[in-house]
Copies of this chain bind each other. A is one copy, B any other.
Amino acid sequence: MREVFHQSLEEIQDRLVEISELVTVAIGKATKAFGTSDVTLAEEVIDDDEIIDEKALALDELAIEVLARQQPVARDLRIVVSALRMSASLERMGDIAEHIAQLTRMRFPERAIPKGLKSTFTKMGEHDVKIAQQLTELLRTEDLTLIDTIRNADDALDDLHISVFEKVLSDSWKGEAAATVDATLASRYHERFADHAVSVARKVAYLSTGDWTAPTEGIEIIVAEGFAPDNT
């Protein structure tokens, strides 16, 4: 029974890695499409999100089956429950990549990135892609040192998010209302993507250390998931 459970856990882990890889591809394409006004690439991201949704649903079903058949307790139970939560976060990250692609498509053939914010959004996109890559690696290897990289990229994204609002609210901002709306939504999407990644990374840390409810000592992870620097 223990051996069967171990195999189930490996299967769950493999599937989380697979979904995280798909999310990495999605955010890579979405931020590239956003930066280059590539509507074909944007359409790909929008079409492919369904695959992420399906895989997340299938993983949830597997996790529920494992709970029913193998009746795990203690740490094993928490691993399976946290897999359900990680699946939900990854699925949401896919949705956000889709939202960025939708912004691109909505503005096409115009540029979705407002003037004066191109380098900011390029950096935000790079951080999101890096975060997704590191998260995939973290899920695959459980190498907790990767969490620092994810956290640092998330901090950088928060700073960039704030800088978008400083720019938009400054006297030098000449954007039309449409540009202001786009900047606001795009910045929020980029920042939320990273928040979800941090949330998944935190769960990996909890599982590795066995400490479910308190932040991992020495690994200072932002507690206020969903905290948006723009609206405090």
Contact = CB atoms under 8 A, between A and B. Distances in A.
Interface string A176-213: 01101100110010000000000000000000000001
A99 B74 CA distance: 35
A81 to B, nearest CB: 6
Number of copies: 2
A22 interface: no
A68 B71 CA distance: 8
A102 interface: yes
A103 interface: yes
A228 interface: yes
A169 B184 contact: no
Contact of A177 (B73, B168, B228): B168
A118 B185 CA distance: 21
A85 interface: yes
A92 interface: yes
Given A68-B77, A226-B92, A231-B106, A165 B184 contact: no
A231 B85 contact: no
Contacts of A77: 64, 67-68
A9 interface: no
B175 A177 contact: yes
A169 B185 contact: no
A57 interface: yes
Contacts of A231: 99, 102-103, 106, 185
A78 interface: yes
7 contacts: A71-B71, A102-B232, A103-B231, A106-B232, A180-B184, A184-B184, A185-B188
Interface of A: 57, 61, 64, 67-68, 71, 73-74, 77-78, 81, 84-85, 88, 92, 95, 99, 102-103, 106, 165, 168-169, 173, 175, 177-178, 180-181, 184-185, 188, 213, 226, 228, 230-232
